[in-house]
Amino acid sequence: MTNHLYDGLLANASGERLFATIPGAKPRYYSYQHVSDVSAKLANQLVALGVRPGDRVAAQIPKSIEALMLYLATVRAGAVFLPLNTAYTAHEVSYFVEDATPRVFICDPKDTAAYSDMAARLGSRLETMGVWQSPDEDAGSFLADPDGWSNEFETVPRGQDDLAAILYTSGTTGRSKGAMLTHGNLLSNARTLVELWQFTQDDVLLHALPVFHTHGLFVATNVLTLAGGSLIFLPGFSNDTILEHMPKSTCLMGVPTFYTRLLDDERFTREAAKDMRLFISGSAPLLAETHAAFERRTGQRILERYGMTETNMNTSNPYDGDRRAGTVGPALPGVDVRICDDNGEELKRGDVGMLEVRGPNVFNGYWNMPEKTAEELRPDGWFITGDLATMAEDGYVTIVGRGNDLIISGGYNIYPKEVELVIDEQLGVRESSVIGVPHPDFGEGVVAVIVVDTQPFDVELLQRSLGEKLARFKQPKRIVILDELPRNTMGKVQKNVLRESYKDSFA
């Protein structure tokens, strides 16, 4: 038996071919042989720390090739990878560690003090891993002695139904849910995307996304690895580095903010984009006007696709064929999508309803939450996405809204309930309502509307305590104090009224 995901992903990898370039004053080049060697070294280290098949390995570490190798090492060891957003605070992280009980939790060396008590209390072994770029940087305990570990590792056999990763996604109740993804989920999706988007060994992807979410970790990395192509691996997004490396690249995967920022830069011209064969957008809605402006500027049409943490990718505009602005294209080959009413009855084409998905990409359920799983995953395999959509006669899907209050800011998801719970804890706050309104850079920006017991109210104190508990991207960019929240006759807060009132907050 093979290791379904690891062996599958590296099936086309050939030893000395380039896997990644890390640009810089002293560029680093990483071959597929390195991938095999370094993931073996890290897998040996994990096993030495007591990691057994099925154990969770959690990591909140800076973006680096070694972070990708840790993902592959975990898969090779038969364990389950749990990547965590580097913006999460210790308060947020402790929930994930408590819920997932990882055997090992690996953090940034600078965060050791913040996490050592928590790891000891929860019985996780704490290790550290920095960016292994130069001798001056703190490589952390995990990378401190790379030569001390063998580059031979007997990869643990795993089948397609075994778990490969748990990725947490925020919930409507404020509690995050761990989506359990199998080897089969990840490999089948990567195979479909390689074929559909025509990735080959000749592709060079500009990788500017974080590697703790589906987009940067699975869509970008799995697809390029499976194709045997290579990455230009950047620490994050900036117009300068993207434009510098575009002439050596063939494709970019990004959230809409990447594309609006590029369009704001006059250096981004048809000439600058001429060697690129593909620009892909996802994680948040790409405005049709951005699509049109991009085509006017470069002569190329962005390919928009749609996915979720629970399902990887579900639909995509075609590679050859009509990339229709404002739509996310038809279902991927092998994936079924339908638009339903609340009872799961399919609606006729053109009607707005709940988007449901079924296929080999759909996850196994939420970690430790059978009741949540039952609410969202029907017994016959259809997953209720929470997205409202329509489907045209020819199968093209348009996302028109969300059935819940989810805010998507620069490609990161924020559930208002989670922010409201933290605000409501603050002394002097009677109640709050958190909404997303248009933001020129992030698509949506977070606004908190609060009602307080007495004036004057110390907004700065509130901001400080939000800062201790919530990742920066979730914190409201504007706080408004009102005498009362608008409610309907049932007593429910009218978020649509608030969204209308504050729609120009960031105009």
* Interface residue list for ligand MCA (CB under 6 A): 209-210, 213-216, 236-237, 255, 257, 282-283, 307-309, 409-412, 442, 472-473
- Calculated CA dihedral for residues 502, 258, 319, 400, nearest 10 degrees: -10
Q: Please give the structure tokens belonging to residue 500.
A: 């209308």
The residue assigned the tokens 């500027």 is: 297
Q: Name the DSSP class of 305.
A: E
Q: In the complex, what is the shortest distance from the CB of residue 387 to ligand AMP, in angstroms, rounded to a whole number? A: 5
Q: Which option in ligand MCA, ligand AMP, none does residue 94 bind, with CB closer than 5 to 8 A by kind? A: none
Residue placing its CB nearer to ligand AMP in the complex, 44 or 309: 309
Q: Which option in ligand MCA, ligand AMP, none does residue 442 bind, with CB closer than 5 to 8 A by kind? A: ligand MCA
Residue placing its CB nearer to ligand AMP in the complex, 298 or 309: 309
Q: In the complex, what is the shortest distance from the CB of residue 169 to ligand AMP, in angstroms, rounded to a whole number? A: 4
Residue placing its CB nearer to ligand MCA in the complex, 78 or 210: 210
Q: Cα dihedral sign for 385, 388, 392, 397?
A: negative
Dist. CA 238–CA 356, nearest whole Å: 35
Name the region of 238 (left: φ>0; alpha: ψ -120 to 50; beta: rest): beta
Distance of CA 451 to the CA centre of its chain: 33
Q: Which option in ligand MCA, ligand AMP, none does residue 438 bind, with CB closer than 5 to 8 A by kind? A: none
Buried b / exposed e over 414-429, threshold 16 CB at 10 Å, is bbbbbbbbbbeebeeb
Q: In the complex, what is the shortest distance from the CB of residue 297 to ligand AMP, in angstroms, rounded to a whole number? A: 20
What is the amino acid identity at position 47? V
Residue placing its CB nearer to ligand AMP in the complex, 46 or 313: 313
Residue placing its CB nearer to ligand MCA in the complex, 69 or 179: 179
Dist. CA 311–CA 364, nearest whole Å: 9
Q: Which option in ligand MCA, ligand AMP, none does residue 109 bind, with CB closer than 5 to 8 A by kind? A: none
Dist. CA 324–CA 393, nearest whole Å: 14
Backbone phi and psi for residue 19, each to the nearest 5 degrees, phi listed first: -100, -45
For 127, 295, 370, the CA distances from 39, given in Å and listed in that order, are: 17, 40, 33
Q: Which option in ligand AMP, ligand MCA, none does residue 356 bind, with CB closer than 5 to 8 A by kind? A: none
Tell me which residues touch ligand AMP (CB under 6 A).
169, 282-285, 304, 306-309, 328, 385-387, 399, 402, 408, 413
Q: In the complex, what is the shortest distance from the CB of residue 410 to ligand MCA, in angstroms, rounded to a whole number? A: 2
Q: In the complex, what is the shortest distance from the CB of residue 449 to ligand AMP, in angstroms, rounded to a whole number? A: 23
Q: Which option in ligand MCA, ligand AMP, none does residue 410 bind, with CB closer than 5 to 8 A by kind? A: ligand MCA
Q: Which residue is nearest to ligand MCA (CB)?
A: 410
Whether the Cβ atoms of residue 223 and residue 210 lie closer than 8 Å to each other: no
Q: In the complex, what is the shortest distance from the CB of residue 260 to ligand AMP, in angstroms, rounded to a whole number? A: 14
Whether the Cβ atoms of residue 186 and residue 75 lie closer than 8 Å to each other: no
Q: Three-state SS string across 59-126, please?
A: EECCCCHHHHHHHHHHHHCCCEEEECCCCCCHHHHHHHHHHHCCCEEEECHHHHHHHHHHHHHHCCEE
Q: Name the DSSP class of 366.
A: B
Q: In the complex, what is the shortest distance from the CB of residue 131 to ligand MCA, in angstroms, rounded to a whole number? A: 16
Q: Which option in ligand AMP, ligand MCA, none does residue 285 bind, with CB closer than 5 to 8 A by kind? A: ligand AMP
Q: In the complex, what is the shortest distance from the CB of residue 309 to ligand AMP, in angstroms, rounded to a whole number? A: 3
Q: Which option in ligand MCA, ligand AMP, none does residue 385 bind, with CB closer than 5 to 8 A by kind? A: ligand AMP
Q: In the complex, what is the shortest distance from the CB of residue 190 to ligand AMP, in angstroms, rounded to a whole number? A: 17
The residue assigned the tokens 């605070």 is: 89
Residue placing its CB nearer to ligand MCA in the complex, 102 or 216: 216
